[in-house]
Amino acid sequence: MARINCSLNLAAFLDVLAHAEGTKGLGDDGYDKLVNPAGFFTSYATHPNQRVQVRPGLVSTAAGRYQHLSRHWQHYRQLLALPDFGPASQDRWAIQLIRERRALEDVEAGRIEQAITKCRNIWASLPGANYPGQPMKTMPELVAKFVEFGGVPA
């Protein structure tokens, strides 16, 4: 469950994103997860900005439950007045990204497939993202997870 107070559908969608990114249930429910194959970071003071060799030719700074990239940290930290990279800040950042993709209304209304489609250019694990070398989840799997995590589809 998200570490901020939000609707059931939004909390379920955040869990879906964490599931898709492979962080849900790991460590501090993914909030302290570095990109695979790396492990975990130990301080929520700021984005860990650790460069991880994911595979030959791909280095990533993705970190946290939603695998936020360090290059975007300062922008969102200032925009949202985030005090740290802790769970509530990561949730607020993810929700802002959902809002920017104009998918928040779809999430709240339970239009999960539309929300996933709108957010796929943010999260590489979403179906249709087509990031080279990134495994993607299927739409049926994510819709089922949305329900499993307490979401109510339209």
What stretches of the chain show up as alpha helix (H) in DSSP?
8-21, 73-80, 87-100, 104-109, 112-119, 139-148
CA atoms within 13 A on the CB side of 104: 12
21 labelled catalytic:
yes
Q: Which of 152, 111, 140, 105 is nearest to 20 (CA)?
A: 140
130: left (phi over 0), alpha (psi -120 to 50) or beta: left
Tell me which of 21, 100, 105, 148 is the catalytic residue: 21
Residue appearing with tokens 């599931």: 19
Query: Which residues are known to be catalytic?
Result: 21
